[in-house]
Amino acid sequence: MTGSSRPSNSAPIGVFDSGIGGLTVVSELRRAIPHERILYVGDTARVPYGGKSAETVTRYSREISDLLLIEGAKMIVVACNTASALAVPSLAPDYSVPMIGVLEPGAAAAVKATRSGRIGVIGTRATIASQAYTKAIEQLNPELSVNTIACPLLVPLIEEGLLDDEITEAVLRRYLTPMLAGGIDTLVLGCTHYPLLKGVIGRICGPGVSLVDSAENCALAVKELLDSDPAKGSSTSSGLDILLTDCSEGFLRIAEKSLALTIDSLSVRRVGN
């Protein structure tokens, strides 16, 4: 069992992703639980996770989770759909603090949102290949039909800061057109990077398609957990500290400009071999 000593209430909530994407979850956490301190790790040395094997994503996720525990995190929010799909089920039992992924909250929100029963899911290659969303949605309601597509070009475009760019829009149209032709009324943004493209995705899909943001729903799940366990909430010092596993030029710009996040400290920490 990893992390046997019990962190105090004022300990930070640990959050991680491969890169910038998990900051969409941090942004929702700031809104849902503004009094909590957040320690975010962006594994910028090894982004993207989405084309890697389950074994590699699990190893990376374990290394980052161990780092968060060393830093005293009272819970671990896996702000990455790829790691939530591939690593959380095998990792969570090994940790003494709660580990919350983004997948179940996203699936539950999609089931709630659909009226026609036809749901689309976009995500990384690894998330889509795992069929984790399809299984989670079907478990909640086996009557629903789930259409999925991997969008491997989106994370590099987002990490490059091409959020409102004709290239990104063209790529999105290529991915989404066949799915929209199949008639969905709900689209799950099954990668925490994708809410940064919500504007253009919404334009392409039109008003008849509800966008389900796994970031927003994960933040609500974290708030529920804190509210239900007085031993976990609440922290006495709010704020956001960021650790990156390598330098990343666009990181601060996107965090501050696109997500309006105020960062208290930013440092680089090497992880793994």
Catalytic residue among 80, 151, 205, 218: 80
CB proximity list for 126: less than 8 A, separation 6 or greater: 49, 50, 51, 52, 53, 54, 57, 82, 85, 86
Which region, judged by CB under 6 A, interacts with ligand DGL, from 14-22, 114-122, 143-151, 237-245?
14-22
| CA-closest candidate to residue 212, choices 95, 149, 138, 120 | 120
Q: What DSSP assignment string belongs to 6-19?
A: PPPTTSPEEEEESS
Which region, judged by CB under 6 A, interacts with ligand DGL, from 41-49, 91-99, 249-257, 261-269?
41-49
Choice from 50, 105, 195, 233 touching ligand DGL (CB under 6 A): 50
Choice from 81, 168, 210, 245 touching ligand DGL (CB under 6 A): 81
Interface with ligand DGL includes 124 (CB under 6 A)?
yes
Residue pair 145/119 in contact (Cβ under 8 Å)? The answer is: yes
Is 191 a catalytic site residue? yes
Crossing angle of helices 23-32 and 214-228, in 10° steps, is 40
User: Edge to edge, what strands does the sheet with 145-150 contain?
Assistant: 145-150, 118-123, 186-190, 210-213
CA–CA gap between residue 189 and residue 110 (Å, rounded): 10
| CA-closest candidate to residue 84, choices 102, 109, 70 | 102
CA–CA gap between residue 240 and residue 266 (Å, rounded): 9
Choice from 80, 87, 215, 226 touching ligand DGL (CB under 6 A): 80
Judged by CB under 6 A, the chain residues 138 through 157 that form the site for ligand DGL are: 155
Is 80 a catalytic site residue? yes
Minimum CB separation of residue 264 from ligand DGL in Å reads: 23
Which region, judged by CB under 6 A, interacts with ligand DGL, from 109-117, 185-193, 237-245, 257-265?
185-193
Interface with ligand DGL includes 248 (CB under 6 A)?
no
Residue pair 111/140 in contact (Cβ under 8 Å)? The answer is: yes
Helix, strand, or coil here: 186? strand
Minimum CB separation of residue 116 from ligand DGL in Å reads: 26
Interface with ligand DGL includes 212 (CB under 6 A)?
no
Interface with ligand DGL includes 47 (CB under 6 A)?
yes
Interface with ligand DGL includes 130 (CB under 6 A)?
no
Residue pair 67/45 in contact (Cβ under 8 Å)? The answer is: no
User: Given the complex with ligand DGL, which of 155 and 222 has the nearer CB atom?
Assistant: 155
Binding site for ligand DGL (CB under 6 A): 17-19, 21, 47-50, 80-82, 124, 127, 155, 191-193
Residues annotated as catalytic are: 80, 191
